[in-house]
Amino acid sequence: MDYSSLVSRVSAKAKNIISSRLPGLQTSELNAFGQTLKSLSETPLAYEDSHLQDKALEILPLERLYSEAEEDAQKDKIWGLQDHLIRRLLRWFKHDFFTWVNTLPCTKCNGNTVSVGARRPTYQERLDGAGNIEIHRCQACGHTEDFPRYNKVGILLEYRKGRCGEWANCFTFLCRALGSRSRWVWNAEDHVWTEVYSETQQRWVHCDACEEAWDNPTLYSQGWNKKMSYVIGFSTEGATDVTNRYIRKDEYALPRNKISEPQLKSVLNEIKHTRRSLISPEEKQALQDQDEKEFLELANYQGLLKSGIMAPRESGAGEWTKARGEDGSVP
Ligand SMILES: [Zn+2]
């Protein structure tokens, strides 16, 4: 039966009813965007590797982070100790651990380099988790530097460089290593960040390692003037469409035309179902209760005119953010 022609003609309410009756979509029936979501949903699975988590805990300055967080928790009771710990992790990650890379400095003469293209990774580079190798050429001496774009957290713990992709990947993993439930949040346009679950506030909290941003979900739209279509949070517990948390005014919403809404709902449900297949009925029920609470929270943002905190993007060279229209300079 061809549901797509049907759902285009019925109301939103009817769409929900129909989509809840759609059979589970087989991979072959999914369009490219649906396939992409399924493949992206595997990213956070790597965060559960206990050996990698141990390695991370050896690298993290735990004593310092905990003592800072305890001090903060004395002064600010709105958030719990674990929340303060993640906030301290944000600060440490940005200032003491990771480096933002537009182009690498020349290792021969320390001159400035420019990007002159990319090449495919070698077999070994691919094994190390490099998806792509950018080539940066020195403007002074002509030497070229390879900039591997790593997507494996184990490698990133050592390499400690990159752009928002590497930052969000490694930071979300470190939140897991520190015991927070965390989501790797993917935006269909070009950004990724993190959400952690606050047990104290009983809700998912926006975190952006590149910006040292905490609980500032309108940063991208109202702050950077960024328009977005889909924002999906992936975790070991499933996948959730969290777009409404980040887009609270229609003017920042891009058309959602990459997949039908019932199909999107179906693929996210399928991911959730798969991820939760091995947990106890009690845990499953608890997660479902949280899902429902979050659903109401997200639905409540729709149409609400909330003024966001205006903040230009901190990470990235000025020109780069300007070119993307994210410095607030583009109306
Ligand atoms: Zn050079």
> 210-223, pLDDT tens digit by residue?
999 999 999 999 99
What would the mean pLDDT of 292-314 be, rounded to a whole number?
Answer: 67
Ligand 1 centre from 324 Cα, in Å? 28
The two tokens of residue 104 are 């690498």
Ligand 1 centre from 117 Cα, in Å? 17
Quick one: pLDDT band at residue 157, thresholds 50, 70, 90?
Answer: very high
Annotated catalytic residue, options 206, 207, 208, 210: 208
Residues 203 and 279: their CA atoms lie apart, in Å, by: 21
Q: Element (H or E) spanning 34, and its range?
A: helix 32-40
> 87-136, pLDDT tens digit by residue?
999 999 999 999 999 999 999 999 999 999 999 999 999 998 898 999 99
Using a pLDDT cut of 70, give the percent of the chain over it: 83
> Angle at CA 183, nearest 5°, toward 244 and 176?
155
Residue 143 annotated to the active site = no
Ligand 1 centre from 102 Cα, in Å? 16
Q: Give the pLDDT of residue 7.
A: 40
Judged against a pLDDT cut of 50, whether residue 28 lies above it is answered with yes
Judged against a pLDDT cut of 70, whether residue 323 lies above it is answered with no
Residue 208 annotated to the active site = yes
- Classified as helix, coil or strand, 182 is strand
Ligand 1 centre from 107 Cα, in Å? 7
Ligand 1 centre from 96 Cα, in Å? 26
Of residues 325 and 34, more confidence is placed in 34
- Helix/strand/coil (H/E/C) assignment for every residue in 273-290: HHHCCCCCHHHHHHHHHH
Q: Is the ipTM beyond the 0.95 threshold? A: yes
Annotated catalytic residue, options 191, 206, 207, 215: 191
Of residues 327 and 50, more confidence is placed in 50
Contact in structure between 242 and 231 (CB atoms under 8 Å): yes
Quick one: pLDDT band at residue 147, thresholds 50, 70, 90?
Answer: very high
Of residues 321 and 112, more confidence is placed in 112
Residue 136 annotated to the active site = no
Judged against a pLDDT cut of 90, whether residue 155 lies above it is answered with yes
Ligand 1 centre from 77 Cα, in Å? 51
> 252-276, pLDDT tens digit by residue?
999 999 999 999 999 999 999 999 9
Ligand 1 centre from 144 Cα, in Å? 8
DSSP class of residue 150? Answer: E
Lowest mean pLDDT across 23-32, 44-53, 74-83, 155-164: 23-32
Q: Give the pLDDT of residue 174.
A: 98
Q: Cα 229 to the chain's mean position, in Å?
A: 14
Structural domains of the chain ordered from first start: 3-101+163-323 (3.10.620.30), 113-152 (2.20.25.10)
Annotated catalytic residue, options 106, 138, 164, 210: 164
Q: Give the pLDDT of residue 266.
A: 96
Judged against a pLDDT cut of 50, whether residue 283 lies above it is answered with yes
Residues 52 and 12: their CA atoms lie apart, in Å, by: 44
Q: Give the pLDDT of residue 263.
A: 95
Quick one: pLDDT band at residue 48, thresholds 50, 70, 90?
Answer: very high
Ligand 1 centre from 159 Cα, in Å? 21
The two tokens of residue 197 are 């679950």
Judged against a pLDDT cut of 70, whether residue 30 lies above it is answered with yes
